[in-house]
A and B are shown apart, each in its own frame.
Chain A
Amino acid sequence: MSPRTSSPTSLPKIGPAQIALLERLSNAISVSGDEREVREIVIKEVKPHADDLSVDAMGNVLVICKSTARNPLRVMLDAHMDEVGFMITEDDGDGLYSFEVIGGVDERQLPGKPVLVGKERLPGVIGAKPIHLAEKGELHSPISISSLRVDLGPAGAGKVSPGEWGTFATRFQRAGASLMGKALDDRLGVATLIELVKHHPENIELAAAFTVQEELGLRGAKIAATTLHPDLAFAIDSTPAFDLPSAAKKENTVYNCKLDGGPAIYLADAGTISDPRLIRFLEATAAKFGIPYQFRQPGGGGTDAGAIHKVLSGIPTVSISIPGRYAHSAVLMSRISDWQNTLQLVYAALQDLTPEILASVRK
């Protein structure tokens, strides 16, 4: 570990400017496969701070910030730009459109939600039929996606075409210590990564990847990591917090992670078994700087790490997530404190990274 000591006061903070950026990112619409709107914000924000910036064949934004050190570690930081949503698949006439959901949205989260659709961001609703008309027994099963339509109103006839994208129309808001908005998975990660590019520690070469199509199976991260070929990688994402009411009158042992618990460090998920060297290093860094953290419960789910660690000859990788409730719904909730602690933990870790971390084999 580096002999240099930093006081926590020198670590970057989340203030009004960062929250305003997150607001723009959260309100922007970038469904998997159509990440242009967030990509434009990202490019505008990071370009002045980048030594190199490129957009690859799938639309990933790849940013290099060079180091002042000799033979620095090349460290990949990853956050995905895309969000869940839907694609219009058929014009049913009269301003009604069939759609197919993109990403893992629970069908019970759809009826009765406002949406924005197409290149013009037209307002619409996903309608649900009145309870009065529901047939006997119908109320006990979920409303199937195939029976739902996006309704742009009678004047919306012919206004969008099959192949255009849309998603929830939720507007971002701050509520005391909390943040509420759509797509905080993973705009929180994107906002964090933008801050890290703006304040990149000079001891490492930073290779930042703002990726596409994570929600469709980590597709962007795979080619981004291949192009960047880093020595090691950190994926920064949002992970569900299930610190919520339970039906069973017993201890909640399946919370995944908790709000106010600090950054959630991944040990193992469905796609990755984190590199133990990086886990130990993050723990030590958090202890050194007094940053709270938690382990995300091992189990299912996954992040871009699942693709990154398997490219080329293998990349030591770990994920760090900002806890967020109600993932893949119209509105998520996260805490400003968890966000700041995540930003600070990753920043502190980068600043303390030396090639020694890879001196011994994985164990």
Chain B
Amino acid sequence: MTELTPFLKKLISLPGLSGYEDPVRDVIRETWQPLVDEISESKLGSLHGLRRAAGSGKHHSILLAAHMDAIGLMVTSVEDGWIRVMQVGGLDTRILPGQLITVHGQRELPGILQMIPDRLQKKSRAGSPPEITDLFIDTGLSARELKRLVKLGDLISFAQLPFEMPGGVLTGHSLDNRASIAALTVCLDEIHRTSLDWNVWAVATVQEETGLAGAKTSAFELQPDIAVAIDVTFGKGPGSNDHRAFPLGKGPTIGVGANIHPALVEHFKKAADEMDMPYSIETMPKSSGTDGMGMQVTAEGIPVMVIGIPLRYMHTPLEMVALKDIQRAGRLLARIITRLEADSMEKIFAESKA
């Protein structure tokens, strides 16, 4: 049994920015290895773990995808002792001044992210929030030393360490979407000793934050009959109180919308109800903004479900998640999988094929 909290803490203490997921992939591989029958990597670096169905012959397959990449920054130039940067993934520049970061140069360098002060700014821009080109990193090193240690393209991650809060809440960076990797791992743990009728692909995808590249290509390669994306969603909290946000600790969300197959909505709701598991319905009228979108419109089309784990302060160094919700999401997936039978495909989609 994987211990959830230490595993997740380890995951979010690691870098693994979009396109450069190696450090986190290694840890996930090590954890999944004993839980799956086979493990491999896609050409873009997504991790594919396979739990085989019992018995020979052809089996249906379900793909569970959670992205392992995280947002961060990249070095665009090193000049006069300053590092200039740009985002990897969507980062609000207004939260960046004053952050402690780690520059992954020749060695790991601590640094402070700061902005051009008003008195040195163009008059028209004084008092405005910084644009990305107004930001720089101060490492305290001499210009010469810095030039030797840091080069164009080096990665920068948040230095924030994870910490636990009362009531089973974990805080740290990159919980988007390592929380879902943890949920997927809970699921693999749950089904470990169970014999299955379907093949199960557990996939840790790459490059979600920069355009769903990993999910698209893995879904194309594996061609599952059903695909589920597990991603974080907005947690209710300061500044996030409308219908797009969901309370922490009150269960995962089940998506409804154009990216999601209506038959799967009913199927997942039923499973959660049978387990007496609390959940919210998350409306995603246009696009889910997750790997679900990339997987649905792939090849000849794949029926998709999106499961959300509520998370506060998304895309900041201090994201916040309830551990209970992660466990529930994992158990819901396990329930769905263990109840899949040879004729489930026909049963689940019977009405929609009419």
Residues of A within 8 A of B (CB): 32-34, 40, 43, 55-60, 86-90, 98, 100-102, 161-163, 213, 216-217, 219, 222-223, 226-227
Contact = CB atoms under 8 A, between A and B. Distances in A.
Given A33-B258, A34-B262, A100 B283 contact: yes
A-B residue pairs, 3 tightest by C-beta: A33-B258, A223-B301, A163-B256
A143 to B, nearest CB: 18
A55 B352 contact: yes
A163 B264 CA distance: 14
A33 B296 contact: no
A213 B287 CA distance: 11
A58 B283 contact: no
Contact of B242 (A32, A90, A222, A227): A90
Given A34-B262, A102-B258, A163-B256, A58 B285 contact: no
Given A59-B352, A216-B286, A216-B287, A226 B281 contact: no
Interface in B221-267: 242-244, 256-259, 261-262, 265
Contacts of A226: 299-301
A16 to B, nearest CB: 29
Given A55-B353, A87-B283, A219-B296, A32 B258 contact: yes
B303 A57 contact: yes
B39 interface: no
B281 A162 contact: yes
Given A102-B258, A219-B297, A223-B301, A163 B353 contact: no
A32 B283 CA distance: 14
B257 A33 contact: yes
A77 to B, nearest CB: 18
B285 A102 contact: yes
B297 A223 contact: yes
Given A34-B262, A88-B283, 12 more contacts: A57-B300, A57-B302, A60-B301, A86-B285, A87-B283, A90-B242, A98-B242, A101-B285, A216-B286, A217-B287, A222-B297, A226-B301
Contacts of B285: 33, 86-87, 89, 100-102
A163 B300 contact: no
Nearest to A57: B301
Interface in B91-134: none
Nearest to A86: B285
Interface of B: 242-244, 256-259, 261-262, 265, 281, 283, 285-287, 296-303, 352-354
Contact of B300 (A43, A87, A162, A227): A227
7 contacts: A32-B258, A57-B296, A57-B300, A98-B243, A101-B285, A162-B256, A223-B298
Q: For chain B, what secondary structure do more than half of its interface residues adopt (helix, strand, loop), or is it mixed? A: loop
Contacts of B265: 163
Contacts of B303: 57-58
Contacts of B261: 57-58
B243 A89 contact: yes
From B242, B297, B353, name the one whose CB has the most chain A CB atoms within 10 angstroms: B297
B286 to A, nearest CB: 6
A162 B352 contact: no
Contacts of B283: 87-89, 100, 162-163
A60 B303 CA distance: 12
Nearest to A43: B354
B242 A87 contact: no
B281 A90 contact: no
Contacts of A59: 352
A167 B145 CA distance: 63
Nearest to B285: A87
From A43, A57, A222, A227, name the one whose CB has the most chain B CB atoms within 10 angstroms: A57
Contact of B286 (A90, A102, A161): A102
A160 to B, nearest CB: 12
Contact of B301 (A32, A56, A162): A56
Contacts of B256: 162-163
Contacts of A102: 258, 285-286
Nearest to A218: B297
B194 to A, nearest CB: 27
Nearest to A101: B285
B4 to A, nearest CB: 30
Contact of A223 (B257, B287, B300, B354): B300
A55 B301 CA distance: 11
Nearest to A92: B243
Contact of B258 (A60, A161, A213, A223): A213
Contacts of A86: 285
Contacts of B243: 89-90, 98, 162
A163 B257 contact: yes
Contacts of B298: 223
A146 to B, nearest CB: 9
Contacts of A90: 242-243
B298 to A, nearest CB: 8
